[in-house]
Structure formats: C-alpha cells, structure tokens
Structure 1
Amino acid sequence: MRTPPGVSAATFADGIAEMKSAVGEEWVFTSDPDVDTYRDFYSVLWGEEDERIASAAVAPKTVEEVQAVVRAANARGIPLYPVSTGRNLGYGGSAPVYSGSVVLDLKRMDRIIEVSEGNASCLVEPGVSYFDMYRHLQETGSKLWIDVPDPGWGSMVGNALDSGGGYTAAPYRGHFEAQCGIEAVMADGEVFRTGMGALPGSETWQQYKMGIGPCLDGLFRQSTLGVVTKMGFWLFPQPEAYMSCSVELQRFADIDPMVDLFNELEYGNIFNGMPSIGSPVLSQGNPLIFAEIPEEEEMNRRVRETGLAAWRGSMVFYGPEKVIRAQWDYVQERFAHFEGVKFKENQFVKLPLRPEDMDKIQKNRFGIPSMEIFAVGSRGFGDFNPSDGHIWFSAIIPRSGKGFVKANRVMRQACAEHDVPLFMFSPAVTCWTRSFVLFAAVPVYKDKEKNRRLRESVLKVIQICAEHGWGEYRCPPAFQDAVMNAYSFNNNMLRRVNEKIKDALDPNGILSAGRYGVWPKHLRDGRHA
C-alpha cells in the first residue's frame, strides 16, 4: 500500500481502517491496480518521478460518510483530494495535485434531490452527470433544459467548480455563475451551506444565492477549502423556437466594429445564445485549425482571390418565433452599413425537438449531452497522430477586435517559436458573456522526453501571455503554480490571501493541497517562484 508523504505507515493504516469502517471495506481502494485507475491518463508527467499519483481512494455514499472520512484524515494529517466523477480530462483528470493524496471519489453520491419546474432549478449531488440529469428531465416530462459542456459524462458539480462552460443562453452557459446554493463539508468535518441554505427550513435556497453577509460561494470554486456535497443550479426553460444566423463581412478592418456591435447586441439581450466569431478565409472550412491572422493587406488579398469572407459572426436566438425573427431583423438593420455584408439564416427549429431533428442539430445548443467531442481528437492532425491525449491551454483575452487579433498573433507566434504543437486552436470562445477565451488543445504522449520539452515550452507561453495581461482561467496541475504566479499584482496578493484563508479554514492542510497554486503552510516553502 502506498503511503502519503509525511504520514507514517502505521498512521495511514489506522486512518484507512477508520475510513473502511465509515464507508464499507469494498469502497476503500488501496491496491496498485485499483489506485492506478485514478491516474491522469493525459498527464504531461506520465511515468516520471513527479507524476501525480494517489496513495488510495475512498468512495462515500452520503454526507455523513464524507464527514467521517474527512475527520479521520484531519485527525492524522492524511491529505485528501475530492473529485466528483473524475472526468476532467485535459485539466488533470482524477489525479491529485499533491502526489500521495487519498482521492475522495464522490461519484456514488448521485442523487438528483430536487427539480423545481416553477423555479427552473435543481439540487444535485456531485456524482450526477449531465447524462443523468438529461435522462431525468426526459423521463419526468420536464420542460427544463440543462446547459452542457462538450463531454456529457462529467459531473454538473465538478464542471461548475472548475468554471466549465456550455452553449445555450447567457444566464446558464457559465456553469459556476448558474449555480445557486452550495453545501460543503469543511476540513474539520462540519457541514456548511451558502446563501439561503444557512437558514433552517429555507424554501429559497435555489432562488437567491447571496443570503446575508459576504457571498461565500466563490470560496469553493477551484478551491482547497471544502468538499462540496450538494449544489443548486438554475435551469433553462425550454423556449418556443431556436434560430441560428450569421453575418459575413469582407474587410480586415471590419473586425473592430463587428465585435463592438456583437457586444452591444448580446449585452442588450437582442440575441441570447452563444455567439461565435471566426474567419472563413483563414479556416478554409476547418474550424479546428484557425490560422494566424495576417496583416490587413494580405488578408484583404486572400478575400478577393478566394471569395471567402474575412469574418463571420454567428449568433443564436432562443424564444418565441415572432420575437426572435424581429430580433434578427433588427440585427440585420444594425449591420446593413457594412460594405458587402451578407446575411444568412442557418437554422430554424421549432421546439420541442422531434426525433427527426436529432441528426440535424448541434446537440449542445439544445442542452443535450453527448461524447461527440472525442471524435475531434481521434481524427488526429499533422505528424502527431495518434497522440496519447491532450491538455488545454485556456487564456482569457480582451473582448474586442484588437484584442482578438493581437492574442491570435501572439499565441500563434509563441507556440511556433517554442515548438508547441496544436491540434485545435479556437478563434475565440464565448461561453462566458463579456469575455473571450482562446482555447488551444496540445497533444501529449507517454514519452518522457517529448513531455519534458512540452512542459518547458508551455511554461514559456504562459509567461508570454502574462506579459500581455492574459491569464489562464483553468489549467492542468503541472502548470497551476506557474499560472497562479502570473496573477502577481501587489506581490502576489491573490495567492497570499488564498493562503491566509486556507490556514484559517484548513489548518492541517488536508484538502486538495496545491490545487491552483494554493498550498498549506507545511508544504509552502520553496514553491513560490
């Protein structure tokens, strides 16, 4: 049996025995084959001394069992690493950030506690996947939609806690922003509820997230402070109709006023679905490989020679047919002054969906989970097919035309200069209203030398982005310290405040040590760059 660092074999065995007593012997895993299922199979440290490996895993079924496990660990200084379903591929999977931690696997906590049609909300445990919730809504005849990320097998709770995003209407596709009400087991085993959940007998826990005093939900986002055991979400009432449309512009210079107008229209709720901005002339029909944006004259020349548009902005409308058609008419009026503008209604769907619609739609736009995203990586591109997985590089950039162009050029050039291969590079993703995210998928291998070079290169790209004021919102464990270091305002005040909160709420440092660069006091020395 593997043993966590700094914990004696006898102390660890005693703690494991208490955990078995709490959850049942069959739900505590200590053999190497069992524990190896919690490795990050997309790790950039695969097979190396620094690979993040669990010492054991425990899978409780109830909040009371979670409390017992946490208390057993806290009494002995055994590090725990909670995961919901452990499907966070590309960002660490189910492996702990601090090697040797015991994975606290919550996938057996899979109750859909409540779905409120009238309030358009739900309350779930961390083991509830998007597939689980979708099936439940379908089987009960609900008129509510969930908002889904790309792979549907993940946990609603886990995805929200790592700030995942989706594809439907603005209030729902930022999954942490759509949560309302958190229950968590703290490091001492006490149960804590945020918002109106702190009021005994509350009937409004999923209606008003602030409660009284400071709003503390954010303490649990990408955090090391508690084990989330329940979370509420706001759900999307099924609209009457869906319509996707696009605007094509012909000149390089149109990008600035195009983004400005898109922002105005979305922020004013003229369209409410997830927009996208790309370039037909640069993608040449392959949106997975978005080329580096050339200088103005060169791009305009390509437009003239190919007949493809310089820019395409797509938008989605959800609502009553009369309303969304009027909104689309208004959008066309606002874009009519652009030279050579072209408008297109891409798809109109009356809801609810019919069986014959299912093969015609983009499922995630309708709150339908799938696993289709994995077809992207399996296709392979260039000389790295097949890879052994991928990691995501996810930088927040300014939501402006100038920011879009600059970030594309800098990121493309940095990846080329430092030999970072890509099989996917997004123009700009808008899961989160009011921001752009540049996503780059980087292939990884079970090859130590390739991964060593890759890590060195990604660290350089992180620094280059930071020098331009762009930070990653989410990243794999191998880079979490470096990304936290980049948030360096006032001598890394963000990290220092996180550490003070950590020391107060988890003085023994047992929960999620090192997650997103926040280490407990006894592991902190020498880690700060």
Structure 2
Amino acid sequence: MNVPPHVSPADFAAALRAFAEVVGADWLFTSDEDLELYRDSYSVLWGEADEPRAAAAVAPASAEEVAALVRIANRYRIPVYPISTGKNLGYGGAAPAVAGSVVLDLKRMNRVIEIDERNGYVVVEPGVSYFDLYNYIQEKGLKLWIDCPSPGWGSLIGNALDGGVGVTLAPYRNHFDAQCGMEVVLPDGRVLRTGMGAMPGAKTWQQFRPGFGPRIDGLFKQSNFGVVTKMGFWLMPQPESHATGVLTVPRFHDIIPLVDIIGRLEQGKIVQGLWTLSSPTTGTRGDAAHFGGPPAIDPAIRVILEDPAGADMTKLEAAAQAAGLPFWSCEFQLYGPARFIEAQWECIREAVSAIPGAQFTLNPVRALPLPAEDVARMFDPGPLGIPSLRTFSLGPMYTYEDQEVVGHIFFSPVIPRTGEAAIEAMDVFARIGRKYKLPGPPLQFPSAIFERAFLFAMGLPVTRSPEVNAKVRAIFRELVAVAAERGWGEYRTAPAFYELIMGTYSYNDHALRDFLETIKDAVDPNGIMSVGRYAIRARAAKAAG
C-alpha cells in the first residue's frame, strides 16, 4: 500500500479505519483498481517515479462528514486533496499534487441546495455538474442560464475554484468572479461561511458579496486553505433573443486598431458577449471542419501556411486578397431584446468602420429558446447556456514523435489585450511550435474570454512514452521562460508545473508565495490541506521534505 509521506503505516491504517467509520466502508477506496480512477489520465509524468499517485480516496456525503474526515486527517497528519468531480483534464484531473495524499472525492455531495429565479442565483454542492444544474433548471421550467465551459461534464464549484471560464456574457464568464458566498471546512474541521453567510439566518448571502470586514473568498480559490462544501453563483436571466454578428477586416495589421476599438466597446459595456478572433485564410468553420473534416484552404494559401520557416504574413495577406478573403474575422455573441441587439450591432459597425475595408454581417435575430432540432445542429451550444461534450467530437488525436497522443496539458499565458501583443505572441509561440514540430493549427489566435486581457492557450501533447513526455516537459519549461521574459504569466497550470509557475511570480524575493505560506502556517499548521497545490505548503511540511 502507498503510504503518505512522513506517516507511519500504523497511523495510516488507523486513519483509514477512522475514515471508514465516518463514510462507511463502501466509500473508502484503497485497492489498486479503485485508485486507478484517481490518476490523471493526461499526466505528463504517467508511469514515472514522480507521477503523483493517491494513497487512498474517500467520498463523504455531507459537509459534516467532510469536517469529521478533516479532523481525523489532522490527528494523524494525513495529507488530503479535495476534488469535486475530477474532470479537470489538461490541468491535473483527479490526481493529487503530491504522491501519497488521500483524495477527498466530493462527488456524492451533488445537491442543488437553493435556486432563486427572482434574484438569479443558485447554491450548489461540489458534486453538481453543469449537466446536473442545466437539467434541474429545465425540469423546473426556470428562465435562467448557466455559463458552462467545454466540455460541460465538470463541477461548477471545481471549475470556479480552478479559475475556469465560459462563453456567455462577461459578468458570468469568469466563474470564480460569478460566485457569491461559500461554505468552507477549514483545516481544523471548523465550518466557515463567507460574506453575509457569516450572519446566522442571513437573507442576502447570495446577493451581496462583500459581507462585513475583509473579503476572504479569494483565499479559498484552489482549496489551499479549506474544503468548499457549498457555493452560490449568480445566474444569467434567459435573454429574449440571440444573434451572431460577423465582421471582417482585410489586412494583417488591422488587428491593432480592431482590438483597440473592440476593447473600448467592451469597457463601455456595448460589447457584452464573447467575441472570437479567427482568420479566413485558415479555412472554413462549418460543421464538417468542427467534426473532424479537413478545412477548405486555398492551395496558394496552404503553401504559405505550411512553409517550414513559418508563414510570411505579408505573403499571406497578398494571397488572401488574391483569393478574395479578408485576413481577420470576428464573431460576436449578442443577447437581449431584438432592438437592443440591433442597436449593439449598429454601434459596433459604426466604431469598426474606421478601419478601411471592414465589412459586417448581422445574422438573423432569433427568439429564445431555440427549437431543439436547431440546438442539435449546433457544434457548440455553450453560447446558449447549454452544456455538451461535443468538443470530444473534434476528431482523432495526433501522433507525436511516433507516439500516440492520449491527451494534452495546457500552457495558458495571459497576454495584454492589444493587437501588438497578439502579433508578438503568435510569432513567438509559433516559432517554438515549429522548432519542436508540435501538432496544432497553422495559425493560433488569442482568446478574448477574459474582459481586459487575452488568453493564449496552447495544448501540448501527452503520450505514454516517458521519453517523449520528458521532451514535452522541457518544451513546456521553455515556453514558460520565453513568456516570463516578456511579462506574460500563466493563470493556471498542471500539477507537474506548479513550482515552475509559482517561481515566475517572484516580485520582491517571492513576497506573494511567502505571504501565502504565512497564512498556510496559521490556518493549516500540520500542512494537511491540498498539499503542494499551486506550490503552496506549510513551512513545517517543507522543512520535513
């Protein structure tokens, strides 16, 4: 049996017996077969000595059981690692950050505690998935939307705590920012409620975020200082109508004024839904392409895109113009009454018309909800608040270095929301991609999923070959170093790189990390909670090795 670090086999056996008394023997998992489910199937350390494997897993059914388990863990100094549903693919899955931890699997805590259509909020437990909440809302006929990531099988709480994002209106896309009020089991087993929830019988727990005194909700992001057992979320009222609008601009460097103009429109709340940037030079975005079919690319353009030295943007722009294609395309998600959508689009059109050659198409404004048959034809219904697993239908994975690709890890730097930064990032990361022959699209674009910054996410291939995975880890380290030199930091990463990424946040001799570890020492002196997650540990635990 795998035993937690610095814990004797006798103490571990005693802790397991105590865990079983709390949850029942059926919900304590120690067999090799059961613990396979708590490996990260996308681990870039798969099968290696450094792969973090759980020593056991335990699945409580209530906050009271969580509190009892945490008190036992403290007694025996057992490291526990809470997960909600373990669907965090590309960022760690269900595996702990440190080998020998006991996974605290909260999947049984799957109740929708409260939902309020009038005030637009919901309170859920960690095991509630996006599918669960969507179905609950549909069954009750509520005119509320959820904002879901892709794929939609994960937990609302788990996704929010790890910094996940979605695709609807800006106030709901950043899932942690959309939360209001949480219940947390602290490392000593005491239960805390944040914000207005600290008042017994509070009537505005999910309506007023600040509460009284310092706002501490952010400390529980990523679960270093406690186990979140309930969380409130603000939900989006179902809009009357929806439409997509597409604008195009003809030249490569038009991205600079384009991003500036859209940024001002977003800051003024004229653009509220997600907008996506793409280039028509890379082919169509029809269903055939989405479901694994090859994109239709002009042969003259394909030669430029596939140049081993990299695509020359001057040549690509000329080839696009010869083919009658614009260089950039932006698709906007528009919500609200029909006249509001039309007014939004007119404002966008008026502002972007300052770029010579800009063209605009507002697609039909459609009343919501759409007919089920229309939703079924959509590749991604996420912009309509509908979770799906359709991202898995993108087609087969690539091979890399003659090895089958079984998954990916995300490199996720945040870059400035400017056209100049987008051009620089596309060039810098494309050069590294070509250098190592990474699989991926010929051009990769930043995402405007955040309101005032771009996300430039890249998926690096994961295989079952230790040699190939070691190469991928080295490429990842190079990407991080190159990004850090330019002041671009990652907002989220896989466990194999927690220490690496925290090391780049080193202002004033790592003042941020030292502050977080000071808090860790105060609230978790035995260092049992989410050990190693995002490179935060109690100093006593670090000293012990």
TM-score by length of 2: 0.93
Partner of 2:528: 510
The one-character-per-residue Cα deviations of 1:254-280 (angstroms, maximum 9, x if unpaired) are: 111100111111221212110112222
Deviation at 1:78, TM superposition (A): 0.4
1:306 aligns with 2:354: no
Question: 2:146 aligns to what?
Answer: 146
Mapped to 2, the partners of 1:21 and 1:356 lie a distance apart of 50
2:2 alignment partner AA: R
Q: Who is 2:412 aligned against?
A: 394
Shift of the alpha carbon at 1:346? 3.6
Residue number in structure 2 paired with 1:191: 191
| Structure 2 partner of 1:243 | 243
- Residue equivalent to 2:132: 132
1:339 counterpart residue number: 356
1:480 aligns with 2:498: yes
Q: CA deviation at 1:378?
A: 2.9
Q: What residue in structure 1 maps to residue 205 of structure 2?
A: 205
Q: CA deviation at 1:423?
A: 6.4
Over residues 233-255 of structure 1, what are the superposed CA-to-partner deviations in whole Å (9 max), with x where a residue is unaligned? 00000000001101100112211
Output the CA distance in 1 between the equivalents of 2:201 and 2:248.
54
**What amino acid does structure 2 have at the position aligned with 1:324?**
I
Find out whether 1:464 has 2:482 as its counterpart: yes
Q: Which runs of 5+ in 2 are unaligned?
A: 296-301
Distance in 2, matches of 1:8 and 1:24, equals 23
Q: Distance in 2 between matches of 1:331 and 1:338?
A: 12
Aligned partner letter, 2:519: I
Q: Secondary structure at the match of 1:373?
A: helix
What is the CA distance between 1:339 and its match in structure 2? Answer: 1.8
Q: 2:225 is matched with which residue?
A: 225
How far residue 222 of structure 1 moved from its aligned partner, in angstroms, is: 2.0
Query: What are the Cα deviations for residues 411-452 of structure 1, in whole angstroms up to 9, with x where unaligned?
Result: 111233355444697411122211110111111111111111
CA distance in 1, matches of 2:275, 2:416: 15
Deviation at 1:379, TM superposition (A): 5.0
For residues 426 and 407 of structure 2, what CA distance do their matches in structure 1 show?
24
Structure 2 residue corresponding to 1:328, chosen from 337, 345, 350: 345
Give the whole-Å Cα distance in 1 for the aligned partners of 2:185 and 2:242.
Answer: 41
Q: Answer yes or no: is the 8 Å Cα contact 1:477–1:515 preserved in 2.
A: yes
Q: 1:369 to 1:497 in 2, by over 3 A?
A: same
CA distance in 1, matches of 2:25, 2:239: 48
SS in structure 1 at match of 2:148: coil
**1:437 counterpart residue number:** 455
Distance 1:272 1:344 in 2: 18
Counterpart secondary structure, 2:422 = helix
Quick one: distance in 2 between partners of 1:462 and 1:525? 27
State the SS of the aligned residue for 1:254: helix
Partner in structure 1 of residue 161 of structure 2? 161
**1:24-74: CA deviation from partner (whole Å, max 9, x where unpaired):** 111111111111210011100000000010000000001110001000001
Supply the distance in 2 between the matched residues of 1:296 and 1:34 (Cα, whole angstroms). 52
Q: What does residue 299 of structure 2 align with?
A: none
User: Cα distance, 1:128 vs. partner?
Assistant: 0.2
Q: Evaluate the alpha carbon distance shift between residue 456 and residue 149 of structure 1 in structure 2; reply closer, same or farther with a 3 A threshold.
A: same
Tell me the equivalent position of 2:426: 408
Contact 2:282 2:442 in 1 (8 A): no
**Alignment size in residue pairs:** 527
SS for the counterpart of 1:222 is: helix
Q: Is 1:79 the equivalent of 2:79?
A: yes
Tell whether 2:375 aligns with 1:358. Answer: yes
Contact 1:253 1:296 in 2 (8 A): no
> Could you tell me the percent identity over the aligned residues?
46
| Structure 2 CA distance for partners of 1:431 and 1:496, relative to 1, 3 Å | same
Which residue of 1 is the match for residue 180 of structure 2?
A: 180
Give the conservation status (yes or no) of the 8 Å contact 2:172–2:234: yes
Q: What residue is the counterpart of 1:348 in the other structure?
A: 365
TM superposition shift of 1:389: 1.2
TM normalised by structure 1 equals 0.95
